[in-house]
Amino acid sequence: MHDVVTLQAAGPHEVRPLAVGAGALLDILRHQHEASRSELAARTGLARSTVAQRLELLEAMGLVVKSGPRASTGGRPASTVRFAAEAGVVCACDLGATHCRLAITDLHRNVLAEVAGDLPIAAGPQRVLDRVAQHIGDLVRRLGRGLEDVRGIGIGLPGPVEFASGRPVNPPIMPGWDGIDVPGMLARFGAPVLVDNDVNIMALGEHSQNWPDCQDFLFVKVGTGIGCGIITSGHMHRGAQGAAGDIGHVRVTGADVVCHCGNVGCLEAVASGGALVRHLAKEDALIRNSRDVVHAVRNRDPRAIAAVRASGRAIGDAMASAVNFFNPSVMVIGGDVAHAGDELLAGLRETVYSRSLTLATRSLEIVTSRLDDQAGVIGAATMVCDTLFEPARIDALAARRAAA
């Protein structure tokens, strides 16, 4: 079963025979849960003998199991197979500025166990990742599984990450993390470790769970900072340096606040949870963080409502440009400040609909996150599963198994 651990992807023109079709079969089973051999042959165009041979390989790899005969419409009952989602576990970890959420999922990214708590990212990589490793061990044992069942680890970090290497790149709020080999620091699990920006994994979680058919998808996180995750044609768009979606420093029309980045009028300096707290705390000492702001809005505090609406308008100003540029069909708003709900959305919608082209907003949906605090861990698990079971990779692993 440990074939699944190595992560060397097979290029499309790699010079060795592939078990062509194994990956496509597994892909169907991952999305459909169960199928008969004849259905699989019909849907892939593979010969039935090829389907049978590929399924044997997938069974030998522990990824597919027989699921018993299905009630038939007559004649011999069709024997079906299904994806063995229980064959291993995935560890998904969403690290924020001050908070950590960790989940163990099956290979179909169903959450089996979860913990959440304070964990300041500024404590540095050694202390933070040691704590993460300890939580993984505890949760896996509590599930009655062993560490050898861990098939992959997905981590979201609150800053830019070079996705290919899993190393943070000049992260502004993560002292001591720049260039750190995060996968290397979790090598003890002997499983692949994938690392991405927290906003990207939230986008992936929300998209895969609630909008799987949306081709042009944006997720805007409004928390301590402001960032955007971009999914196009089903794929995460990370950009040349993995910096795509970094909208926190887009200039807001008419604003003159100095940002920590050195520019003036940056969206983050005007409209983030941090900016709201700074603004409201001047006259209300009870407001210390984004949650307090949301609480004040829910209590119908007029100053807090006005401030959150103004934030929504500023974010809408930046997103109007993004809407003209990208033409999404869905924009999901998440992060702590999104808990203010309608007040934030109203301001945001007001500016997006007034400043974007009517063609681009004709059928645009702007909604708050449904996964809410779980978006990050669901996204991290999705990132791991999609990589582990990428069809070309499964073709290559099945071929290796066939040769063995």
- The binding site for a copy of itself (CB under 8 A) comprises 12-18, 20, 24, 28, 42-45, 47, 160, 169-170, 215-216, 228, 230, 232-233, 235, 237-247, 249-251, 253, 261, 263, 317-318, 320-322, 324-329, 354-360, 362-364, 399
Q: How far is the CB of 282 from a copy of itself (least distance, A)?
A: 27
Given a contact cutoff of 8 angstroms between Cβ atoms, the answer to whether 292 and 286 are in contact is: yes
Nearest distance, CB of residue 250 and a copy of itself, angstroms: 5
Q: Residue 6 or residue 329: which is nearer to a copy of itself going by CB?
A: 329
Provide the minimum distance between the beta carbon of 24 and a copy of itself in the complex, in angstroms, as a whole number: 8
Could you tell me if 312 and 343 are in contact, meaning their C-beta atoms sit under 8 angstroms apart? yes
CA distance 185 to 153: 12
- What are the Cα distances from residue 23, in Å, to 10, 61, 387? 12, 12, 12
Nearest approach, Cβ of residue 304 and a copy of itself (Å)? 28
Q: How far is the CB of 214 from a copy of itself (least distance, A)?
A: 9
Report the residue number, 296 or 398, with the smaller CB distance to a copy of itself.
Answer: 398
Q: How far is CA 29 from the centre of its chain?
A: 22
Residue (113 or 163) nearer to a copy of itself, CB: 163
User: Rounded CA gap, 300 and 312, in Å?
Assistant: 17
Q: How far is the CB of 147 from a copy of itself (least distance, A)?
A: 35
Residues listed for the chain: 404
Nearest approach, Cβ of residue 136 and a copy of itself (Å): 30
Nearest residue (CB) to a copy of itself, 286 versus 359: 359
Answer whether 224's CB lies under 8 Å from 273's CB. Answer: yes
Q: Which is nearer to a copy of itself, 130 or 365 (CB)?
A: 365
Closer residue to a copy of itself (CB): 123 or 255: 255
Closest CA to 182 of 198, 166, 196, 160: 166
- Is the backbone of residue 53 left (phi > 0), alpha (psi -120 to 50) or beta? alpha
Q: Collect all residues with Cβ–Cβ distance below 8 Å to 19 and sequence separation of at least 6.
A: 54, 57, 395, 396, 398, 399, 401, 402
Cβ proximity to a copy of itself: between 153 and 323 the closer is: 323
DSSP code, position 339: G
Which is nearer to a copy of itself, 47 or 122 (by Cβ)? 47
Find the shortest distance in angstroms from Cβ 157 to a copy of itself. Answer: 14
Sign of the alpha-carbon torsion through 368, 371, 374, 377: negative
Decide the pairing of beta strands 99-105 and 111-118.
antiparallel
| H-run or E-run covering 42 | helix 37-44
Output the smallest distance, CB 140 to a copy of itself, in A.
35
Between 174 and 228, whose beta carbon lies closer to a copy of itself?
A: 228
Give CA–CA dist 44/90, Å, rounded. Answer: 28
- In 4-81, which ranges are continuous DSSP H helix? 22-32, 37-44, 48-60
Secondary structure (3-state) at 67: strand
